[in-house]
């Protein structure tokens, strides 16, 4: 049986509504972030000077945040596994670990933003504009827009996760653990592409 036959053998009617809804949400998010990434790539190709600005981003913090997000993806999928077995203590531990992972990501991001702002790399950086480097300034606009939008998704994920954790601890709506997990993996996926774009390809 080939891949298409296998997929056709799964009846859509059997897919839980919540999960289907999450996939539709992910498709929408892919358009938003995919569009931004495409614009970034095109501008990067058009303006090689962006490499100079990209050299100022912190690879250490970027890599650290990648480790944090990958690990939190692991903990939420373990929470899902525990939810299916109705092991409520494990669900609580793993979901709490995921929320802490999200918090660690935001703390790292805050430190990183503070350093960059301190060095004058801001939205429409006056320092760069005064020296006539409008292209360089544009890089930082893209940087803050993409990472800021991603961080907003992390915050939303943490709020959703907290609400679901409160319910799951009482054994209610355990199926939502998987939905929170799918959302969190999407946040992880986006970062997997933002990280090389902004932090490694210099």
Partner 1 sequence: MENVRISENIEIPDPALDYHGHAPYGRILLQLLILLSVSLIVGMVFSTSVAVFLIFATAIWKSSMVMKNFMHLKFEPLLVWVAIAAVLFILFMFFFGIYPDITAVHREVVPR
Residues in contact with partner 1 by the rule CB under 8 A: 4, 7-8, 10-12, 14-20, 23-24, 26-27, 30-31, 34-35, 38, 41-43, 45-47, 49, 51, 59, 63, 66-67, 70-71, 73-74, 77-78, 81, 83-86, 132-135, 138, 174-175, 177-178, 181-182, 185-186, 188-189, 192-193, 195-196, 200-202
At closest approach, how far in Å is the CB of 96 from partner 1?
17
Question: Which residue is it, tokens 């999450």?
Answer: 22
Report which of 62, 51, 99, 95 is spatially closest to residue 76, judged by C-alpha positions.
95
At closest approach, how far in Å is the CB of 191 from partner 1?
10
Residue closer to partner 1 (CB basis): 67 or 118: 67
**Residue 101 structure tokens:** 């992972």
Residue closer to partner 1 (CB basis): 27 or 118: 27
DSSP annotation of 171: T
Inter-CA distances, 26 with 38, 39, 128, Å: 17, 19, 36
Give Cα 42 distance to the centre of its chain: 22
At closest approach, how far in Å is the CB of 15 from partner 1?
6
Count of CA atoms in the C-beta half-sphere (13 A) of 195: 19
At closest approach, how far in Å is the CB of 137 from partner 1?
9
């Amino acid at each position: 049986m080939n891949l298409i036959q296998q997929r056709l053998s799964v009846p859509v009617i059997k897919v839980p509504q919540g999960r289907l809804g999450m996939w539709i949400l992910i498709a929408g998010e892919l358009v938003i972030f995919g569009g931004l990434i495409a614009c970034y790539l095109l501008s990067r190709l058009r303006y090689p000077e962006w490499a100079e600005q990209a050299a100022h981003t912190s690879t250490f913090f970027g890599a650290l945040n990648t480790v944090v997000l990958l690990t939190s993806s692991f903990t939420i999928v373990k929470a899902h596994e525990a939810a299916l077995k109705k092991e409520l203590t494990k669900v609580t531990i793993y979901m709490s670990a995921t929320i802490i992972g999200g918090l660690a990501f935001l703390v790292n991001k805050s430190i990183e933003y503070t350093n960059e702002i301190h060095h004058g790399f801001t939205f429409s950086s006056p320092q760069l504009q005064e020296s006539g480097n409008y292209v360089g300034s544009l890089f930082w606009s893209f940087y803050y827009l993409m990472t800021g939008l991603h961080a907003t998704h992390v915050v939303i994920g943490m709020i959703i996760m907290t609400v679901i954790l409160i319910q799951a601890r009482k054994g209610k709506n355990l199926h939502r653990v998987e939905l929170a997990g799918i959302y969190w993996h999407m946040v992880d996926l986006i970062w997997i592409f933002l990280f090389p774009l902004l932090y490694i390809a210099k």
